[in-house]
Amino acid sequence: MIIEEVFGKGHQNIRATHKSTFEITREDYVTLKGDCIILTSANKAVSDLSDDFKRLAKSPRTVIEIEVHVNGLKEVVIARGDQKLSFEDKKSMVVRKSGYVCGRTLAVYANKAAADFSREVVEKLRQGLPARVVIKAYRLCD
């Protein structure tokens, strides 16, 4: 198992209403149009993840578990890796319910998008509170 940690904070404009993705960004603001963004001011984008993580994540047999911790609450998302992941983006990371992959994609076939997050978690993020994201990648047994 490879574990990555990302630190950031919420923002007053976080809506978390997007039905197919959620995004973590290094940007320090969110417009109301950014309905997939759940975290701002992140210390990492997909390009900053370790080479070991990237190698492991490039398999559809890899599970990618994303835990979002804020103010004592935790949201857990389960997704998959994909051989097409490129980890190129230097500004953000996006988790998708679909299999679509681009340079910003962290994981695909997720069981949750922004709209599926607990409204209690979203409210804490709207308050601008600091958050920690734990990203775990591990291979399914053969």
pLDDT at 20: 98
Q: Which residues pair with 38 in a beta bridge?
A: none
The whole model's pTM is what? 0.95
Give the pLDDT means over successive 10-residue stretches in the chain (142 positions).
Answer: 97 96 96 94 98 95 97 98 98 98 98 98 97 96 62
Q: What is the DSSP letter of 85?
A: -
pLDDT for the residue numbered 32: 86
For residue 55, which phi and psi values (nearest 5 degrees)? -60, -50
- What does the pLDDT read at residue 142? 54
CB 40 within 8 A of CB 30: yes
- Residue 131 burial (10 A CB sphere; 0-12, 13-18, 19+): buried
**What pLDDT score does 140 carry?**
80
Phi first, then psi, for residue 69 (nearest 5°) are: -110, 125
Give me the domains of the chain, ranges plus CATH numbers: 2-139 (2.60.120.630)
What type of residue sits at position 102? C
Residue with structure tokens 């492991």?
56
